Structure 1
Amino acid sequence: MELLDSARHAALRVSAAPDAGRHFVQLVAEEFLPAALHYPILLARHPETGDLYAGALMGLVPDENLCLGPNGTLVDYRPADLVRQGFYVSGENIAIDVHHPALTQAEGATVFDADGGPAPALRRVQAALRQLHVGLPETEEFLRRLEEHKLIEPIDLNFQFDNGESLRLDSLYTVSLDALHALPDATVLTLFRAGDLQLVYAITGSVRHIPTLARRRNERLSGLIQ
Structure 2
Amino acid sequence: MEFRDIQSCYPIFFCKDPESGQLYPAALLGFEQDQNLFLSDSGWDATYIPLMVRRHPFLIGFQADPDGAEGATKPVVSIDSDSPRLIEASGDDSQEGEALFKQDGTPSDFLQTSIGTLESIHRGLEHNKGFIAALLEHELLESFSLEITLNDGSNNQLMGFYTIAEEKLQSLDGETLAKFNTQGYLQSIYMAIASFARLRPMIDKKNAQLG
Q: TM-score, normalised by structure 1?
A: 0.77
1:39, 1:58 within 8 Å by CA — same for their partners in 2?
A: yes
Percent identity between the two aligned chains:
30
- Cα separation, 2, equivalents of 1:203 and 1:186: 21
When Rg is computed on C-alpha atoms for both structures, the one with the higher figure is: 2
User: Is the partner of 2:82 in helix, strand or coil?
Assistant: coil
Structure 1 position 190, deviation (Å): 1.7
User: Is the partner of 1:172 in helix, strand or coil?
Assistant: strand
Structure 1 segment 80-95 matched on structure 2, within 5 A = 80-88=51-59, 89-91=61-63, 93-95=76-78
User: Is the partner of 2:43 in helix, strand or coil?
Assistant: coil
Q: CA RMSD in A?
A: 2.1
**Counterpart code for 1:186:** E
1:86, 1:102 within 8 Å by CA — same for their partners in 2?
A: yes
Gaps of 5+ in 1: 1-29
- Cα separation, 1, equivalents of 2:97 and 2:149: 37
| 1:45 matches 2:16 | yes
User: Is the partner of 1:55 in helix, strand or coil?
Assistant: strand
1:98, 1:104 within 8 Å by CA — same for their partners in 2?
A: no
From 148, 162, 168, the counterpart of 1:159: 148
- Cα separation, 2, equivalents of 1:165 and 1:137: 39
**Counterpart code for 1:97:** D
User: Is the partner of 2:105 in helix, strand or coil?
Assistant: coil
User: Is the partner of 1:129 in helix, strand or coil?
Assistant: helix
User: Is the partner of 1:101 in helix, strand or coil?
Assistant: coil
Query: 2:34 maps to what in 1?
Result: 63
2:12, 2:195 within 8 Å by CA — same for their partners in 1?
A: yes
Structure 1 segment 1-226 matched on structure 2, within 5 A = 30-68=1-39, 71-88=42-59, 89-91=61-63, 93-104=76-87, 107-222=96-211
Equivalences, count? 193
Structure 1 position 113, deviation (Å): 3.4
Q: TM-score, normalised by structure 2?
A: 0.82
- Cα separation, 2, equivalents of 1:150 and 1:174: 11
2:9, 2:46 within 8 Å by CA — same for their partners in 1?
A: no
Structure 1 position 35, deviation (Å): 1.1
Structure 1 position 103, deviation (Å): 2.1
- Cα separation, 2, equivalents of 1:134 and 1:36: 19
Gaps of 5+ in 2: 64-74, 89-94
